[in-house]
Structure 1
Amino acid sequence: MSIHLMVVAAYLPEDVVTQSQKLAMMKICDSADDETRLSKPGLRRLRAWVGVGEKRCMTIVTELVAKGLIERVETGKAGRRAVYRVFPLGVPPIPSNDDLDARFKEADAAPKNPRKARTGVTRAAPSKPAMTHEDIDARALAAGEGVKEAGFHGWNPDEGEGRVPPVEPTGLHRWNPLGSTGGTPSFPSSSSVLPFPPTPAAGAAGEPGGCPRHPVPAASCRACGTNPRAARVARERERAETDRQTEQDWLRGWQAELDEARRVMQERPEDVEAARLLARQLARQGREKARYGDPPEKNESCPLHECS
């Protein structure tokens, strides 16, 4: 670990390295030796410092090599880290406060976009920030923005025509109509003869009165599940439960057959081996039949067909 080299890398100017390159350079310097300036940072640690991907990390290292800040001594391989030499052309000195002030002044004076810089134009210094509302009023008074006097006025502004007329509107009557109770008006009652209107599914199912199980229309029959919509939901739930039970029964039967086959294999391994040999023999005969065709029929009088 070299603190001196890492501090030198931290003070590299921004016109030389970017932020990502500076972080990578600081990590390489942190892992370097003070005398030999050889460093083995490792790709995993280097990615953690810079906060980029593997390909971008290798690109940043290549950019540092192109700028002459590091050089590759040994390339990395599987199980072996790459070796770099930090500052092969010489270690730059740590800048002093005067050097930093000069660097910052030059950076502040430089245009943000050199392609759109206005040459020969002296920019005005920024004004002092306003500290109180009196500073803002004084600037408005100096700029002539219609302010007659600085500070808050001590009276209400001149009143013009008000938003609400001073008299009562003529559209409202001044007395209660005949037959009025004089109380607070209310909304008209519902036009439905039922305590609550029927459900939307009742009319679609041909039941204008709602649930047929209630002789008197109830406020809501969804709680007991007697309306057509709840009945349809119940039938769909029963159908789904039946399908699920059928699948479970089939799986149990298949599992029972599989357990029985395993039990037979464990109790009578010789029968299993005989069946396996028979299957192989039948498969071999099938392949020979497909390749050579059916064998010729046996002729008893032919001496060449004495054996079967």
Structure 2
Amino acid sequence: MSIHLMLVAAYLPADVVTQGQKLALMKICDSADDETRLSKPGMKRVRAWVGCGEKRCTTIVTELVAKGLIERVEVGMLGRRAVYRVFPLGVPPIPSNDDLDARFQAADAAPKNPNKARSGITRAAPSKPAMTHEDIDARTREDLDVQELAAGEGVRREPGFHGWNPDDDEARVPPVEPQGFHGGNPKGSTGGTPSFPSSTGVLPFPPTPAADAAGEPRGCPKHSTPAASCRGCKTNPRAERAARERERAEAERQSQREFMENWHADQAQARQVARDRPQDVEAARQLARQAARAGREGLGDARSPEK
């Protein structure tokens, strides 16, 4: 345990290490030896100090290695802790009070957000710190008074919804007509309720969306009077195409079924002939062997070079 190294790590400025890196470095320094500066903190202890997950803790240790604040001497394995050397480039000195004052003055003078920094503007002095809860309540009341005075109200009210209805003479809507509406019916208007034109189709269903693109006739020839659509009686061109497709598929399946039945019948007949007349089967086999032999001999003569 090295108190000196842990104090050195605790006084590192914010532009060198983040809060998580500082906590991890302080734990590694807490487990280090004063002379060799070797430390075996263990990942569980470092995670407990930093308060993060295992992967984030490993990343923080790697960031400390990249900044030169620690170095790995031995890699940790199952059942063996990793060994680190603290401050391998040299131990920084502990800052004095003057150094800390200069550091904090520079930090206070620097803008909080450099992208939105405004030059030439002095910052207001901080208010007196609140000592008790009564001071905080007094500040809250002062803020409310300032807001209500800015709004022109004479009575201070608590934030939230009010618990009463407005007076009768208090008008919610100004007694004028909105500018977006006319003040009466236009010329030629009957003054009745407007209505939309009725549909020109006979049936309640419109034609198919792709009827024009596919060149389909806008009407059914099966009716005496062509209608806008025959979807209700299922005689529209799309339904007819679907029915023809189903009939074609059913005919194809029927032909395949008949082919398989005929094939099985032929195979059964051939097996029956083989059982009834085995001598004919053997004669056919001999003829097939002789034909194959003759074919091979003829092929060999054709491939041999001429003398």
- Coarse TM-score class (shorter-chain normalised): 0.3 to 0.5
With structure 2 as the length reference, what TM-score do the two structures score? 0.42
